[in-house]
Amino acid sequence: MEKLVESPSKTEAKELLEEYLRRNYTVTLTGLCSVNYQGRTKSKLDRGERLVIVKQDNSLLVHGPENYQPKNWQPDTDQFNLRADKEELILESKRNNPEETVEIRFGEIEMLHITQLVDKSDLKIKGHEIDIHEAIEENPELVEEDLKIVEREKETDAGFIDVFARSKDNQLVVIEVKRNPDHNSVLQLGRYVDEIEEEYPGREIRGILVAPKCSDNVKEYLEKKNLEFVEVDMEDVIPSYESLDQSQAELNQFQADYET
């Protein structure tokens, strides 16, 4: 999936960012913006043309037109907040430990690009959410015995459900996949369940968060919301990389065709 939008309105950009920042996509914005940082220190960048990148691990980079180093960055973001009006799009990136906030105010947006990158050499080590999606689609019993897939990427007013399924007891099952789930993941899953309850009144609806790991706090929050957790082993998701190994030649396999 890839989206490229030139000169989006502030509202359009906000809606796209709300949808894709939480789904581990790489998002790139270019435009005229100012940047405020508050945390261990304080800093402010006056308005200028910049390139803003949010990577799939929620790291944030703000680049100017020169130099390889970012002018601002956040190695790991716990929460994104968005506001928009006719004048500005405000992207707020918060980190909990240590507590710090990067606030980016776009006055003009030239381009918004959304994609999902796959680095096969990195995939070999840890995998990505899309691999879990595909593994569930190919083998739904990774989640539950006799589970039947109804639809993948089911669209609702709250966003796209990763996997929509039906249990052997004819319950409708909403599945949200995360590499590193947090409290926002639970809230999003709850919103999806609410949407399906409205679409299918009278049906029993279950919500399942699927991830390779989950903190005790998030598990407790799931129980409080009457939602479930299923742990997947990434070795079951990505059992073999022989083909990748064969497709990547080692440097020592190449010999120089010249002498010095």
Residue 104 sits in a domain whose CATH number is 2.70.180.20
- Do 88 and 157 fall into the same domain? no
Are β-strands 205-211 and 172-177 bridged in parallel, bridged antiparallel, or unpaired? parallel
For residue 205, is pLDDT > 70? yes
For residue 69, is pLDDT > 50? yes
Q: Note whether residue 250 is domain-resident.
A: no
- Residue 147, classified by CB atoms within 10 Å of its CB into exposed (0-12), middle (13-18) or buried (19+), is buried
Positive or negative, the CA dihedral 113, 114, 120, 124 is positive
Q: Note whether residue 41 is domain-resident.
A: yes
Contact 173, 136 (CB under 8 A): no
* Per-residue pLDDT reduced to its tens digit, 208-259: 999 888 889 899 999 999 999 999 887 767 654 344 344 444 434 434 443 3
Which of these three, 80, 115, 150, is where a domain ends? 115
- Do 138 and 93 fall into the same domain? no
* Residues 6+ positions from 67 with CB-CB distance below 8 Å: none
- Do 110 and 127 fall into the same domain? no
Which of these three, 115, 132, 159, is where a domain ends? 115
| Domain count for the chain | 2
> What is the SS3 assignment for 93?
strand
Structural domain range at position 137: 120-243
- Do 85 and 162 fall into the same domain? no
Q: Using CA atoms, how far apart are residues 193 and 172, in angstroms rounded to an integer?
A: 9
pTM of the model: 0.53
Q: Note whether residue 248 is domain-resident.
A: no
- Do 109 and 25 fall into the same domain? yes
- Do 141 and 222 fall into the same domain? yes
* Per-residue pLDDT reduced to its tens digit, 95-106: 888 899 999 999
CATH number of the domain within which 223 lies? 3.40.1350.10
- Do 233 and 130 fall into the same domain? yes
